[in-house]
Amino acid sequence: MRLFGPAFAFGLFTASVALTQQPIGPGHLFTYDDGLFSPLEDLSFVSSEVHTTLTHPGFPKHSVRIKKSHVFCDETVNSYTGYIDIEARHIFFYFFESRKDPDTDDVIFWTNGGPGCSSSLGLFMELGPCRVTSENSTAFHPQAWNENANVFFVDQPIGVGFSYAEYGEAVGTTEEAAKDIASFIAIFFEHFTKFKGRAFHMAGESYGGRYLPVFAAEVYDQNTRLVEAGFTPINLQSVLIGNGVTDFSTSLLSYYDMQCTPASVPPVLSIAQCVSMKQIIPRCKRWLKNACLERFDAIDCAAAAGFCEKHLAEPYEDTGLNPYDISRACEGGLGESLCYPIINTIAKYLDQPTLREQLGVDPSITSNFSSCDDNVSSLFVESLDLFHRTHLHIAALLERDIRVLIYVGTYDWICNWVGNERWTLDLEWSGREKFVREELREWTVEGKKAGLVRSHGGFTFVTVDGAGHMVPYDKPKEALAMVQRWLENTEI
């Protein structure tokens, strides 16, 4: 089941500040001399002509190449692009400073899902500071999340977007990907003094429901080792997951509700289809529980998920409706554009040679841009990565005072609000009883109902009325209001 595409040796030592600079190829390397670590200190030292390379003694296999991208996408702020280099693997990222106060505002990490889809979709279609309007132009986006936050958009894992590997290396599990992301975050924050101790939030959507709990847990656990070595820990404050697949089993079983009850729109399948589907649900529950949840048998779990998807998901695919928005027909073809033609336009925009040069895209990348990479998706499918739920990571983060926001557009089918509400209510953690007792209440934007919310003890579940899978795309004003309230730790 593909969630954003067709259905479906730490050894740290204490740092000091003696700076050495050596020319390395076309850029500059800021490194440590005789065991002395030399942070770059400020983004103003980053060149717009060549990449500046950042290293960290605790991560000898990792480095970061970064360049200033001038007025790219949003001329009101500084923007940067670059690569997280892990030997022969290279992960591309964008970074935009806050429009309000980059020296004090929080930092948000954003990833799209897939697995295998580029965060350029989040950047140019959803919450970024500009939106692509044609193959060679963008428009200023007033409801961007960098209105009052510094925001990263990361093409991860290896092979996604402008990310690449030199010798065919690849990542096929979320746990592998998490180590690279956590290392990157540590290197970036250690080099730029003004970000040390800054509130940090990890956000994303769709397969991000699998990614983000594991990524955040890796950042949290890595902090212990950073402190032991004399470095500043990352001030991880929260995780935000939009229309995520945190528990694949509840997502799969909730397809009945979305198709055969008025959970969001009137039923879209025939009575005969719904009756047949209803009769399958008990068998699916038992099989998924026995093969995937109580114990994990790779062969049996894959068979159970395949059987249930055939009976619960395939009937919807036959309707021609958009799996990411049950209120509309699929436009442009699911395989071609994920039912959103603008995605093809974004890809063509990123194929411009002059733009790639401005962004510092590695010249070895000569192929046309692909918004979602099938090879990456296949690797995750082969490892059965989806079937490893991340609800326990969420519970563990909550117990450590890391806030968690689960937000869901009510029109999404593939990672819908019904399944997401079910796992949040079932989650075992110390605040569960009080969370479950909280009634859903309305939340508003400019005096108008925006959806429903349930919240207790740092755990919040939010629905966004009239939004599909990509909430910031469909409801940018409501999405920004939600995020701003979340960053301020005020009631949504």
Rounded Cα–Cα distance for residues 395 and 430 (Å): 9
Q: List the catalytic residue out of 391, 465, 469, 474.
A: 469
Report whether 419 contacts 278 (CB < 8 A): no
Rounded Cα–Cα distance for residues 274 and 256 (Å): 7
Rounded Cα–Cα distance for residues 73 and 129 (Å): 6
**Which residues 6+ apart lie within 8 Å of 55 measured at CB?**
29, 30, 31, 32, 62, 63, 64, 187
Tokens encoding 399:
């117990």
Query: What ranges in 289-338 are assigned the alpha helix state H?
Result: 298-312, 314-317, 334-337
Told to judge if 412 belongs to the known catalytic residues of this protein, a careful annotator would answer: yes
Provide the CB-side half-sphere exposure for 29 (13 A, CA): 11
- Which residues on adjacent β-strands are paired with residue 235? 199
Q: Which amino acid is at 466?
A: G
Q: List the catalytic residue out of 118, 163, 206, 249.
A: 206
- Among 65, 64, 62, 93, residue whose Cα is nearest residue 79: 93
Report whether 492 contacts 440 (CB < 8 A): no
Told to judge if 221 belongs to the known catalytic residues of this protein, a careful annotator would answer: no
199: part of which helix (H) or strand (E)? Answer: strand 199-205
Told to judge if 388 belongs to the known catalytic residues of this protein, a careful annotator would answer: no
Q: List the catalytic residue out of 85, 257, 412, 465.
A: 412
Residues taking part in catalysis: 206, 412, 469
